[in-house]
Amino acid sequence: MSLWADKYRPNSLQKVDYHQDQAQHLTNLVNQGDFPHLLFYGPNGAGKKTRILALLRQLYGPGVERLRTEHMNFMTPSNKKFEIMTVASNYHIEVNASDAGMYDRIVVMELIKTVAQTHQLDSTKQRHFKVILLTEVDRLTKEAQQALRRTMEKYMATCRIILCANSIGQVIPAIRSRCLAVRVPAPTHEDICKILKTICKKEGLTLPDELALIISQNCERNLRRAILMLEASKVKQYPFDVKQSVVVPDWQLYIGDTAKQILSQQTPGKLLEVRSMLYELIVHGIPTNVIFKFLLKELVKNCDISLKHDIVEIASFYEHSLLKGNKTMFHLEAFVAKFMLLYSKFMEESLHGIF
Amino acid sequence: MDYLDPEEEFEMMHADELEMMNEMDFTTDAVKICSPKDTRRSLKFSTRFSSNEKIESERSFNLSSELNGVFPLSQTSVVSFNLDDNNENEAQPSTSASIINNKRYLDVEDLFGNTDDINFEDEELEPVLKRQKVDPLSDKDIKQQDLIKKIIDQRKKFKSGKRSNFLSSISYNSSNHTQPYESVSRRVPSWSFFPACDGENQRVYIRFRSADAVHEEISSLSWHTKSVQLLSDPVDEMIARAYEKIENNEAIRSGVNRNGVSILDNSIDNTAELWVQKYKPNRYLDLLSDESTNRMLLQWLKIWDKVVFNKEVNKKRKVIDVYDKSAGNKFTKKNQTLDEGLDENNCPKYKLALLCGPPGLGKTTLAHLVARQAGYNVVEMNASDDRNLTCFKRQLEATTQMCSVMSNDSRPNCLVLDEIDGAPVASIEFLIKFATEKRATRKKKTDKKEEKSFILKRPIICICNDVYVPALRNLRQNAFVLNFPPTSSVRLVERLMEISSYENIKTDMGAMTALGTKTNNDIRSCLSTLSCFRNQSVHLSHVKNANIGAKDMQKGLFTVWQEIFQIKKSCFENNPNSTSDGFSSQNNVMKDRINSVLKTVQSYGDYEKLCQGIFENYLILKPKDSSLTNIAEGLEWFCNFDKMMHVINSSQNYSLFPYLPYNFATWHCLFATFTWPKITYPSAAYEATMKKNKFKQIMDELMSGIIPSIRTFLHRDQVLLDTMPLLMHIAIPNLRSISTQLFTQKEKEDLAKVVNIMIDYGLNYFQERDADGSFNFVLNPCVDDAVKFPGLETFPTSSYATKQLISREIELEHLRKRMSHGELNDIIVEPDGLDENEKNVSTPKGVKGSRNKQVTPNHLQRLTPKIVGSTKVTKKKDFFGREIDSPAGHKHKEFRDEIVKSDVWFHFKEGYSNAVRKLVLMKDLY
């Protein structure tokens, strides 16, 4: 636990640095000894998992923190075997069913049933239910979510399910209605600055306000990234300098480069180069929505205000079409080509205007 | 002579029947004459001439005769006679009855042998007959007397004259029995009759016939006719019908003038064989396939002449050689040289010839014809034969062994293995062994004649459609491979014209050329298509519009791509006025192009692969215009294609499939140029997937290595996007390349921190040997690869020594963690400077349990064995002795690990150099 991001993670609801009201609500909820199914949602790095773990600790005591990884084997109806890794304590089990891809329904059904059907040995001392923590629920297929809705009600007596998702847009309404939804918003810039400064203080470092602000602006309001960036910056140069460049993840830089390439020239040859760069990003497993988001951000930066609207529109169009399709490259390239077309047209027109 | 009562008649009749039936059951002789035809005819007559008889009886006759209706061969002449009779009956129905009667009468007389008395009775009965008249022939009864006389005369003539064996045999056979014959009856028959008495004074009824009929009959009687006529209808009737048909035909096709002879030919042709068979080439010169190929095969067969026919072929070979040089084919040259090299056995090197090419080029025809031409007897095995190993073996051996026996007197065998690409692999393997192995063993056993007979001395020609079938891989190497080029369309068209002129099909060159292109120069399908136009005139439009004959030809992948990317010039050639005509014809050209692309793509089928190929090639190829409009539009269609494909695959809804080819048509319109496209195989997507999987695997490995208490907060994406890229910056300790003992406190802390981070995330450095032999430390799992992008070298990499140090510390830390379960918090580190003997003695260390993590560098302080004073001093001392040397250090580490892992540990109290002395053997330590 020597990475700051891990080291300074609050482990109880009382210690959280922001959304204290919400933490208070959660404490009240748990203090009654029971709680309904919960659905935590919010962006990455907002602290969903931190709150969930803190909640569990509130409920079961520090025993929840003794975690172990377990591999569970499943078999599909077509006799294909696959393995899912789970993290579990004595009181809860955490599963990311979307790891199983198209077989997530089997995971949801099998695992939840087996866990939920076993009662706690000693219900006098312990809670009478276990907690199943399902992460990335928004990535579950519709079938898996349908399978979930019945199990949720059926095994209410022996288990509580905590769902964790980035957005509830992809969660079917039936599940949403069965859960108490808890939205964990991303921390504000001020929150982030404050936390960064606290960490520095604890580490015995001095952090200038300006740098904290720069980091908070560069981290997409993702607290984990902010802390990691702070630490990386510290390794790179300490004592801190106000004008110091913040360490940014490589993929982000690479997307920036790609955007530069797109803007430099709008020809089929360039498109081919851009394609190879996009392939590189896809190969490294950067999610396509992230690629779209950052690419758009970089492109729009350099565009005339009149173009911005169109570009955002085509970006959203192609991102949507990507979701409906399968081959990411087609859609990404289609977006780039469309952008090139619009951009070159605009540039020509503006050049005509000059002369 | 009395007339019988109807009741009596009936009784008599039935008794008779029963009797006859009984007789027939065990005497087939009696029925011999009574063919089914006869009885059938009698049935006819009964309906025709009689109104008041019992049909029932006739039926029973039928039945009885059919029951035993076997025709002994000896009586074929009778049959023919009867049938002739029948024909005449049909032709002249008015006289038929009498003719039959006459004949029967004759028969009866023959049957009854001595019939002098009957004749008398006949005369006596005459008035009775007159009185009895019930049938329509009554007006002829005056003639009947004459007739009878004539009959008698005739009979006498026959009696005196030479009789056929048949008749005598009949009379002999049936003399003892009552003849079940319609001409004579014991009951009152249905036909006009003539009552008489037989020898035993029994009443018989004899059939009447008209005089004319008898006349004709007698004149036409020819006992020597042996020809068997099996026509169901009389010839003249058939001729009449034929004429009628001809007239009809002429009426239908009045426009076409043709001569009667050919018409007659045609009408007969309707029953003839298939055109493919009919116009099969019968001579070598008639072959339609490529001339050089033909010659090559023939030549290969001729090489066998030496061994098969024991005939020198040198002269011929030289001639062929000249040809070959002009043809420039390497295969034949190979053969030639090999032929001379293998004089001992006189066999050519390649004992097998492999003809390959698409169907309908005439491979089988060629093989058969050439083999026959070369003087062989062709034995064919094809897919219809059983070709499992045992059957194949038997057949193969039988053929070749039969060769050796029969080669003296008859034509030798030449085995043609047709459609070999479908044969089981084992059989093909055996064939190869059969052809090649024998040659190897031959060298030992040349002298033995028995052994020699086993050598394959007969040519084997294999025929296949696809040479690249895996089963044929070995055969390809061991056989003389002849690839069939497509038939030249000029020759094909010539031949088609020839055939159509034979068949009276009016046509022209253009139509035939179109037919040829439509069927891809497949002779067989050309002919079968042509046969649909039998008796018609064929024009270009017919061929083009007919929806038959076109083959769904699956073209190669590259051909399809090429077709999409290239505008065919022929499109414009076909419509030469397209440029001048302007818009409408331009539209037609476009339509043609789109149609052809659609057809090609549809027949290929694998749309996804095609699409990938287009996607990866369209940017490389020279675009029509440099603007991005086309590209952007094309890409939109790519997205469209992908979406459709996704829907099809995810919902299994294949009803969308027919719409996919239209994407290709669009791409063709957008990207096609006149220049020849240089297409590369699409591999980028595949490579990307492979790489992606590799990185995914790394991430999986990483995820499973992260300790649970941290892992619970992380997802794969978060690790990939946030943690790892930044971790690469963080987990680089800023260390000087000096001994760890010399590290400042800050450096020590840095190192400890890095080590802890790496342990938390399950990372480590492993030594690996590079390709050039040098050692290197590689991060495992190699996350740095996964987060590194080409062209971006943002995060620094540690030096070899640092990595080594970190690796060592991680190992130690792991050990410490493992030990922390027990009481022992201490680690004994063996300094490298120690002798073997001193190894038993280690410095104790007991205090540092609390600050275990931070303390790591402090271990190294205890490296000095004996000196008890200030550790710092000893460190320095120790350090001065050695520069940091990586291989040495590495060895050092391994050494230490061994000690650390061993079960025996020694504690020394600090400050004592000799607190415990104990004898420990080396073997105890390990």
Across the range A65-87, mean pLDDT stands at 87
Cα separation, B658 vs B891, whole angstroms: 69
CB atoms near residue B248 (< 10 Å): 10
CA geometry: angle at B391 spanning B386 and B397, to 5°?
130
Per the structure block, which two tokens stand in for B50? 């009689």
CB atoms near residue B505 (< 10 Å): 20
| pLDDT for the residue numbered B100 | 47
B576, B543 contact by CB (below 8 A) = no
The 10s digit of each residue's pLDDT in A246-265 is 888 889 899 999 999 999 98
Buried b (16+ CB within 10 A) or exposed e, A221-230: bbbbbbbbbb
Partners of residue B619 in chain A, C-beta under 8 Å? 268-269, 271-272, 275
Partners of residue B786 in chain A, C-beta under 8 Å? 284-285
Per the structure block, which two tokens stand in for A320? 């949507």
Most confident by average pLDDT, A210-224, B150-164, B253-267, B428-442: A210-224
If DSSP codes are grouped into helix, strand and coil, which group holds residue B323?
Answer: helix
Quick check: A235 and B703 CB within 8 A?
A: no
Nearest to A189 by CA among A210, A211, A213: A213
Q: Is residue A335 pLDDT above 90, yes or no? A: yes
Across the range B146-161, mean pLDDT stands at 65
Q: For residue B904, what pLDDT band results from cuts at 50, 70 and 90?
A: low
Q: How far is A325 from chain B (nearest CA, A)?
A: 4
Q: For residue A295, what pLDDT band results from cuts at 50, 70 and 90?
A: very high
B47, B55 contact by CB (below 8 A) = yes
| pLDDT for the residue numbered A320 | 92
Nearest to A224 by CA among A254, A192, A189: A192
| pLDDT for the residue numbered B912 | 53
| pLDDT for the residue numbered B836 | 41
B708, A65 contact by CB (below 8 A) = no
The 10s digit of each residue's pLDDT in B583-612 is 455 667 888 888 888 888 888 888 888 899
Q: Is residue B735 pLDDT above 50, yes or no? A: yes
Q: For residue A318, what pLDDT band results from cuts at 50, 70 and 90?
A: very high
Cα separation, A255 vs A332, whole angstroms: 13
CB under 8 Å to B279, separation ≥6 — which residues? Answer: B495, B499, B502, B527
Nearest to B280 by CA among B162, B369, B172: B369
CB atoms near residue B107 (< 10 Å): 22
| pLDDT for the residue numbered A51 | 92
Antiparallel, parallel or unpaired: β B764-769 and B775-780: antiparallel
Nearest to A160 by CA among A71, A93, A214, A219: A93
Query: CA torsion B812→B814→B818→B824, rounded to 10°?
Result: 30
Q: Is residue A180 pLDDT above 80, yes or no? A: yes
| pLDDT for the residue numbered B909 | 54
CA geometry: angle at B687 spanning B685 and B690, to 5°?
110
Query: Considering only residues 247 to 266 of chain A, which have any Cβ-Cβ distance to chain B shorter than 8 Å?
Result: 247, 249-251, 253-254, 257, 266
Q: Is residue B207 pLDDT above 80, yes or no? A: no
Q: For residue B112, what pLDDT band results from cuts at 50, 70 and 90?
A: very low
| pLDDT for the residue numbered B86 | 44
CB under 8 Å to B43, separation ≥6 — which residues? Answer: B55, B58, B59, B62
Buried b (16+ CB within 10 A) or exposed e, A269-293: ebbebbbebbbbbbbbbbebebbbe
| pLDDT for the residue numbered B142 | 62
Q: Is residue A75 pLDDT above 50, yes or no? A: yes
Query: Range with the lowest mean pLDDT among A3-12, B583-592, B807-816?
Result: B583-592
CB atoms near residue B214 (< 10 Å): 25
Partners of residue A283 in chain B, C-beta under 8 Å? 688, 691-692, 695
At residue A333, what are phi and psi to the nearest 5 degrees? -70, -35
| pLDDT for the residue numbered A163 | 93
Query: Range with the lowest mean pLDDT among A29-38, A159-168, B153-162?
Result: B153-162
| pLDDT for the residue numbered B914 | 57
Query: Considering only residues 70 to 89 of chain A, which have any Cβ-Cβ distance to chain B shorter than 8 Å?
Result: 85, 87
Share of chain A above pLDDT 70, in %: 97
Bigger pLDDT: A5 vs B163 = A5
Query: Range with the lowest mean pLDDT among A39-53, B46-60, B777-791?
Result: B46-60
Per the structure block, which two tokens stand in for B874? 């000893």
Tell me the average pLDDT of chain A: 87
B698, B785 contact by CB (below 8 A) = yes
Across the range A144-154, mean pLDDT stands at 86
The 10s digit of each residue's pLDDT in B312-346 is 655 444 444 434 443 444 444 334 333 434 545 56
Q: For residue A315, what pLDDT band results from cuts at 50, 70 and 90?
A: very high
- How many CA atoms, within 13 angstroms, populate the side-chain half-sphere of residue B70? 9
Cα separation, A208 vs A243, whole angstroms: 10
Q: Is residue B632 pLDDT above 70, yes or no? A: yes
| pLDDT for the residue numbered B431 | 82
Quick check: A69 and B641 CB within 8 A?
A: no
Across the range B66-91, mean pLDDT stands at 42
Partners of residue A333 in chain B, C-beta under 8 Å? 635, 638
Q: Is residue B765 pLDDT above 50, yes or no? A: yes
Residue that the structure tokens 């709680």 belong to: A35
Q: How far is B566 from chain A (nearest CA, A)?
A: 19
CB under 8 Å to A233, separation ≥6 — which residues? Answer: A211, A215, A240, A244, A246, A247
Cα separation, B85 vs B79, whole angstroms: 10
CB atoms near residue B46 (< 10 Å): 21
Q: Is residue A39 pLDDT above 90, yes or no? A: yes
Cα separation, B404 vs B426, whole angstroms: 25
**Count of A-B CB contacts under 8 Å:** 197
Q: Is residue B540 pLDDT above 80, yes or no? A: no
Q: How far apart are the first and last CA of chain B?
A: 141
| pLDDT for the residue numbered B794 | 66
User: In Å, what is the CA distance from B196 to each residue of B152, B155, B199?
Assistant: 14, 17, 10
Out of A44, A68, A232, closest to residue B730 by CB:
A232
The 10s digit of each residue's pLDDT in B465-490 is 877 777 788 888 878 888 887 777 88
| pLDDT for the residue numbered B304 | 78
Quick check: B631 and A271 CB within 8 A?
A: yes
Q: How far is A322 from chain B (nearest CA, A)?
A: 8
Across the range B620-648, mean pLDDT stands at 85
The 10s digit of each residue's pLDDT in B701-710 is 888 888 888 8
Partners of residue A99 in chain B, C-beta under 8 Å? 716
Tell me the average pLDDT of chain B: 67
User: In Å, what is the CA distance from B375 to each residue of B305, B308, B369, B406?
Assistant: 9, 10, 10, 13
Q: Give the amino acid at B387.
A: R
Q: Give the amino acid at B686.
A: Y
Out of A254, A269, A324, closest to residue B646 by CB:
A324
Most confident by average pLDDT, A337-341, B280-284, B787-791: A337-341
B638, B665 contact by CB (below 8 A) = no
Partners of residue B696 in chain A, C-beta under 8 Å? 285
Q: For residue A313, what pLDDT band results from cuts at 50, 70 and 90?
A: very high
Partners of residue B721 in chain A, C-beta under 8 Å? 44, 225, 249, 251, 286-287, 290
B737, B802 contact by CB (below 8 A) = yes
Across the range B849-860, mean pLDDT stands at 45
